[in-house]
Amino acid sequence: MNSDEPLMEDPRPDSLSTTESLVVLHTGGGKGKTTAALGTAMRAAGHGWNVAFLQFMKSADWLTGEAKSCRDLGIYFECLGDGFTWDSADIDADIARSKDAWSKARSLISSGNHQLVVLDELTYLCSWGWIDVEDVVTVISNRPRHVSVVITGRDALPQLISLADTASNSMSLHHAYDRGVAALKGIDF
């Protein structure tokens, strides 16, 4: 079929099943992973779901549009990180903080109080070995049946890709940063 032509028949198979929850992963080097997770969180909140959005790298000191928007929509939002690793004064403290952040996320997922839990930038903690990816897989695999999880970040390990019901890879074609343009308030944060 030519991709320039619209679909004229429903492409969905008759054998589709339903599920109570999904695990979704947004990874890759391109822009839009957190933005996609925010869209899912907004959609879920619009359906009356209890949603939690946890950011593992970003600092609570940063004033971001996503934090304000989520809170305005009634989404539980928390920054659990301390900022960019290249700005860190103490990587060991960052590692300890990431372990505490994962402990909080583990409890939040296991409690079943939220129908959607977003784990923004979690992939970094796993790929750097700051937290145990097998523990992450176990906790998410054993979550309450009604809890969906969205994971974001570059360099997702194979275990996270396999865990996901839906996995997307964001690819950058080009980025304003490549031309020396700094992050833009309202677009990038």
Distance in angstroms between the alpha carbons of the first and the last residue of the chain:
39
pTM higher than 0.85? yes
Shortest CA distance to 151 belongs to which of 171, 162, 167? Answer: 167
Residue range 91-103: mean pLDDT, rounded: 94
Q: What is the pLDDT of residue 54?
A: 98
Helices (H), the chain: 33-46, 65-72, 91-111, 122-127, 133-141, 158-163
Provide the residue count of the chain.
Answer: 189
Q: What is the pLDDT of residue 63?
A: 83
Q: Give tens-digit pLDDT for 143-152.
A: 999 999 999 9
> What is the token pair recorded at 29?
């080097």
Instruction: Report residue 59's pLDDT band, with 50, 70 and 90 as the boundaries.
Output: confident
Residue range 91-115: mean pLDDT, rounded: 96
Shortest CA distance to 172 belongs to which of 12, 51, 45, 30? Answer: 30
For 23, 32, 119, the CA distances from 26, given in Å and listed in that order, are: 10, 9, 10
Most confident of 1-10, 75-84, 98-107: 98-107
Shortest CA distance to 150 belongs to which of 40, 18, 74, 30? Answer: 40
Q: Give tens-digit pLDDT for 107-133.
A: 999 999 999 999 999 999 999 999 999
Overall CATH class of domain 23-170: alpha beta
Instruction: Report residue 2's pLDDT band, with 50, 70 and 90 as the boundaries.
Output: low
Instruction: Report residue 87's pLDDT band, with 50, 70 and 90 as the boundaries.
Output: confident
Q: Give tens-digit pLDDT for 156-187.
A: 999 999 999 999 999 999 999 889 999 888 88
